[in-house]
Amino acid sequence: MATIIGSVTSSHVPAIGRAIEKGLQQDPYWKPFFDGFPPVRQWLSRARPDIAVVFYNDHGLNFFLDKMPTFAVGAAAEYRNADEGWGIPQVPPITGDPALSWHLINRLVAEEFDLTTCQEMLVDHALTIPMALLWPDQAWPVRVVPVCINTVQFPLPSAARCYKLGEAVGRAIRDWDSDARVLILGTGGLSHQLDGERAGFINRDFDLQFMESLVHDPKWATQFSIHELVEKTGTQGVELVMWLAARAALGDRVRQVHANYHIPISNTASGLQALEPV
Ligand code: DHB
Ligand code: FE
């Protein structure tokens, strides 16, 4: 049966792509952010995942307001990104794992999740930036299965629903007849708001409590409605549901391998957390 080796959750600000392109990792603005990653990379090189299942939100590259699935699972042999208008470099194509994609799709539909299945899928900065942070040479050592959750156009799925999706993904992976070692990624958040009167809003206290809750009380944030999460974390802060889905996939008990929190990167409170099941 397949093994879940752990999770990495992180923010996904496009400006990080520009900083990587310009080699600004030691720049005073960027250093506290980039310094979070080497311990996670060392852990990954020991944990040797073969596949990454990535919970992320598309921002208008693959899905636009005219067609917006609540949950979409990639089932492509390869994923590419494209210019989204942020002016960041494209990354090399990422190999998919259609066998795991279809296993997840079959199991999730059997568990009454209504999915969109994507045999062609462009992936945006939410998927590519964390990948480039975890594997800076961009010679991707993992195949990828993208799981996209709508955080762009209301109504959004609740935090509790995203947690249940993550639990179902975890069960399906653990039941998969394969020797694969699977890493769960979740990308988005933490608190940020890019638009409106509260643009620039950040909530450090909430973010830190949220990160702590994922270790000891993982369902804590599922008590909040989406509107409460918008109030507490900003309109784009709701992307933190990806962290909930990733955490839920790990099962009951986890150990924190590493965490980092730094304010701000662009308009965003940037968080990073690696967890492993115990
Ligand atoms: C920023 C943050 C995001 O989550 C995103 O998708 C785009 C931009 C930002 O802070 O600049
Ligand atoms: Fe985003």
Domains of the chain: 3-277 (3.40.830.10)
Would you put residue 180 in left (φ > 0), alpha (ψ -120 to 50) or beta? Answer: beta
Ligand 1 within 6 A of CB of 247 = no
Give the per-residue SS3 of 72-121. Answer: EEECCCEEECCCCCCCCCCCCCEEECHHHHHHHHHHHHHCCCCCEEECCC
Identify the burial level of 211 via C-beta atoms within 10 angstroms of its C-beta, where 0-12 means exposed, 13-18 middle and 19 or more buried: buried
- Output the CA torsion sign for 169, 171, 174, 177: negative
> Ligand 1 centroid to 58 CA: how many Å?
12
Which tens digits make up the pLDDT trace of 95-142? 999 999 999 999 999 999 999 999 999 999 999 999 999 999 999 999
> Ligand 1 centroid to 234 CA: how many Å?
12
Q: Which ligand is nearest to the CA of 193?
A: 1
Average pLDDT, the chain: 98
Which tens digits make up the pLDDT trace of 236-251? 999 999 999 999 999 9
What's 221's DSSP letter? G
Task: Give residue 87's pLDDT band: very low, low, confident or very high (50, 70, 90).
Answer: very high
Ligand 1 within 6 A of CB of 128 = no
Sheet hosting strand 268-277, strand order edge to edge: 116-118, 71-74, 143-149, 51-56, 181-187, 3-10, 268-277, 254-265
What is the average pLDDT across 178-197? 98
